Amino acid sequence: MKLMSRTPEYLQTAADRSMIQDLLARYAWEIDHGTPEGWAALFTEDGIFEAPALGLWVQGSAALVSFARDVHRTLPNVHHMMSNFVIDVSGERARGRCELNEFMARPEAIYPNLQGWYEDEYVFDAERWRITHRACSSLSPRR
């Protein structure tokens, strides 16, 4: 069996992919349980969140905080589950895709709310990875 060489570039790419997955876990935690400010801080200052099927385009830190406040107010007990991460790193930039399943917890049951995927762009800003653009596509309408 031939062993694969683990060059410094290979290890850096693996570390970057791991940190981007951590960023996405924090994204789900902040929008579900955290603060609007914490969620918006995961984006760059001019970061974009969009859902084209809903006609939604949110850009910039202040607008992202406002959007997250609205989510907390109008969708209490929503839970985001992301899986099947595909992340391509190129230096200080990266692109990614992952599947999204969103659930709504109610006293009587847990309901599927949305199924779809995210397509993302990320940048490393000398401190950490951040989202520059996140587009949400949906396979099913909100209930």
Residue 75 pLDDT greater than 90, yes or no: no
**What confidence tens digit (pLDDT) does each residue in 32-57 have?**
999 999 999 999 999 999 999 889 99
The structure's pTM equals: 0.90
- For 89-98, 105-114, 116-125, which range has the lowest pLDDT when averaged over its residues? 105-114
- What is the arithmetic mean of pLDDT over 65-78? 93
- What is the arithmetic mean of pLDDT over 90-109? 94
Q: Is 108 exposed, middle or buried (0-12, 13-18, 19+ CB in 10 A)?
A: exposed
Mean pLDDT value across the chain: 92
Query: In this structure, are residues 126 and 117 in contact, taking their beta carbons and an 8 Å threshold?
Result: no
Domains of the chain, first to last: 42-138 (3.10.450.50)
Residue 140 pLDDT greater than 60, yes or no: no
